[in-house]
A = this chain, B = another copy of it.
Amino acid sequence: MKKLVQSVFLDSDEAIQLWKTFRKDLKTPAGTLLSHTVQDMISGVDSAIRAGIQIPGSGPGGGAEHERHKTNGNIAFDAARLWLMNGNPQYAQYVLDLLLAYAKIYAGLPFAVPYSKNPPGRLFHQIMNEHMWLLSTSAAWSAIRHLASDADRRAVETGLFEPLVQMFTVTYAHRFDILHNHGMWASASVGICGIACKREDWVQLALVGQHGDSQTAGFLAQLSTLFSISGYYKEGPYYQRFAIQPMLLFAEAYDRYNPAFKIYDFHHGVIKKGFYSALQASFPDGRLLPLDDCMKTTSITNVGYVMGTSLVYKHFGHDMVLLSLAKLHGKVWPDAGGVLVSKAVASTPQLTLPVLKDSVELSCGPEGNRGAVGILRHGHSARDMTMVTLDYAEHGIPGHCHFDSLVLGYYNRGREVLREYGSVRWINVEPKKGGSYLKENTSFAKQTIAHNTMVVDQTSQFFGDDALAVGSFGRRLRFDASNKSRQLISAELDGYNPGVVLRRTVALVSLDEYKEPLLIDVFSCQSATEHSYDYVTYYNGQVIRTNLEYETPANRAPLGSKHGYQHLWLCGTAQVQKPGLLTWLDAPGYQTCLFDCSVDSELLFVRTGASDPQFNLREEPAFILRFNGKSGMLAAVHESHGFFNEEIERSEGARGTLTQLEIIHSNQELMVLALSAGEQVYLVALATAVPREHDAHEFEYGGTTWNFEGSIFIKKL
């Protein structure tokens, strides 16, 4: 009988069972998720072994050296797990040889050239990557350590892992003591290395931090501080998909090491919540919501979701969404959970893409009362899903947060209709500052004007100053998804701009005459003093129709000089007729926005790309509705309509159904609109304030007193 090896992520008996299942699955005609996973591991490791060990110096993100070290770490981890599965000594030997080769040179390597504020490691331009590398290689080590001679063991641990842990916890102690995704990686990697090397001191350090308080640093502090009670993550969805990797990896490793601790129960089950909330924060096509710093194409196919699918399924049981997710991934995490998921997927033939149908509020703060990201969903399949998001979340730890509170997201017919810019970064594109954030990320992408929200006095929220913004959050007034055909969110910012209260209410409404739900967006801006208000809408596609008389300048100049305005070209101006109407073509359909404002307003056509001396920005269109005054009300309705396919030269319904929008009544509790399509008029009333005990409302219109209860009133006149 084989000796039981308890590696960090896989026990030897579990591994042997996994290998047996793999061999059996290989015989099925199409294979299984498990067989594809293991086959990929084998082919990657075999090809690395054939190529021989290669250890270059350091280089920028996206450079050959960077990718080589990354690959070496991942291959070591895979080779170690394969060794546990099939006992092929070649795999164990490869891991040992690789670690010895690194150990021989590591301490003598110079520090890399840094490309960002993150300090450099010896292999990578930022230690964050070196954390990830330590995690993979020490995990590999845990499987083969018992095979190594004493001398080799000393060589690897004193030559490689000790200097790494030393660097992370002493040299860069200030980067270990941060509550941040980097801190999460730092603690997870040191903890896993501790388990691998049987250094309980490192494990404890990783768990409870240098001060031993589980508050200022360490894995437990990361969990309880960075994730809210709903599982929402302080640095936004893009970093959440990244942070769930170390979260899941160290949780799983520690659970195997010290099951009595019950880490999966820690902090009200934050690990499960953190995973599901990362899933919720995605569009129907799987791309993550572009809140705060993000790359726009990052999706739920990311490796953290692969880990989470298997681990969460194993620990928390059956869930069809997880099986759909696994099918989308085409692979599993290779442990007992992956075996379970693979079997379940194989016996569930009708799995479609994962579809989240619920409207949810991803609330912030330990009690869930520090703002939220409100998500409204409407539809049954990924194909017909409409999604509306309103962000009134807490401004998180300085760094990746944008000054974008009350930003509206709108996804319909497979497209992000209201486009968020995302980050100014060409990730891993080495000639672009090593793939790091570019200076326009601060000067443009983080500024309020870069987002689909309201800008006051052409100045960002909190003047774009993290120190002023940190900890602030929007006030949720109303979140009502009780009726899927009439959903509403209302939220308010007070003091994000001095002396100004901004209230935004968005409703997703299905009406009989419209194939797609309508998005109604109303903004109330209140102040005792004069201000300029800019309502911003980034769109995709080509303007094809407007009822406004507009002028385009012969030359283009930047719209302003600061707070991101310097990066917008002014491309056209119009005095707004009431109501304003703008239709753009965004194949495969058309999009019309009708807008009405309680005061005179001006429409500015703009494009990103000004003041961009290094061509760092994408050049994309937006329009701004600008009005001045102490206070003002603005209403906009978005209609998705028609069809366009250039290849088959077919266009239908290029003009939408809506023809008129009028604000007919507004106060601090209600916004009443008349929405017309030719002769057909809908009276729409939205409750915008916190519901009282009896959520009843009343207003006058056309000589009649109208009453309703709840959040939305719709009456065909």
Contact = CB atoms under 8 A, between A and B. Distances in A.
A447 interface: no
A62 interface: yes
A51 to B, nearest CB: 16
A607 B619 contact: yes
A353 interface: no
Nearest to A612: B552
Contacts of A605: 615
Interface string A396-431: 000000000000000000000000000000111111
A651 B430 contact: yes
Contact of A430 (B295, B569, B649, B655): B655
B555 A651 contact: no
A577 interface: no
22 contacts: A295-B646, A297-B647, A426-B585, A427-B646, A428-B644, A428-B650, A428-B651, A429-B544, A429-B651, A429-B654, A430-B651, A431-B545, A431-B583, A431-B654, A543-B615, A544-B615, A554-B557, A554-B558, A555-B557, A555-B558, A572-B615, A605-B615
Given A298-B647, A429-B585, A542-B615, 8 more contacts: A298-B649, A428-B650, A429-B544, A429-B644, A431-B583, A554-B611, A556-B569, A607-B619
Main secondary structure on chain A at its contact with chain B?
loop
A703 interface: no
A311 to B, nearest CB: 21
A618 interface: yes
A427 B587 CA distance: 12
A428 B654 CA distance: 9
A649 B542 contact: no
A299 interface: yes
B431 A544 contact: yes
Nearest to A621: B619
A651 B435 contact: yes
B651 A62 contact: yes
A652 B544 CA distance: 39
Contacts of A432: 544
A463 B322 CA distance: 64
A375 to B, nearest CB: 22
A429 B542 CA distance: 11
Interface in A538-576: 542-545, 551-552, 554-558, 569, 572
Nearest to A432: B544
Contacts of A611: 554
A649 B554 CA distance: 40
A301 interface: yes
Give the contact-size bracket for chain A.
35 or more
Interface of A: 62, 64, 67, 295-299, 301, 426-432, 435, 542-545, 551-552, 554-558, 569, 572, 583, 585, 605, 607, 611-613, 615, 618-619, 644, 646-647, 649-652, 654-655
A44 B654 CA distance: 23
A50 to B, nearest CB: 20
B652 A67 contact: yes
Contacts of A572: 615
A599 B583 CA distance: 49
Contacts of A554: 557-558, 611
Contacts of A435: 651
Nearest to A653: B64
Nearest to A422: B646
A555 B556 contact: yes
Given A295-B646, A301-B647, A646-B295, A542 B585 contact: no
Contact of A431 (B428, B647, B655): B655
Contacts of A544: 426, 429, 431-432, 615
Contact of A555 (B551, B555, B619): B555
CB-based closest 8 A-B pairs: A62-B651, A428-B651, A431-B545, A297-B647, A543-B615, A556-B556, A297-B646, A555-B557
Given A67-B652, A544-B429, A647 B62 contact: no
A80 B557 CA distance: 61
A106 B60 CA distance: 72
A652 B64 CA distance: 7
A300 to B, nearest CB: 11
Nearest to A296: B646
Contact of A649 (B295, B556, B557, B618): B295
Nearest to A646: B297
Nearest to A557: B555
A430 B542 contact: no
Nearest to A572: B615
A572 B615 CA distance: 10
A56 to B, nearest CB: 14
Nearest to A617: B542
Contact of A619 (B430, B552, B619, B655): B619
Contacts of A545: 431
A428 B62 CA distance: 44
Contacts of A429: 544, 585, 644, 651, 654
Contacts of A644: 428-429
Contacts of A649: 295, 298, 427-428
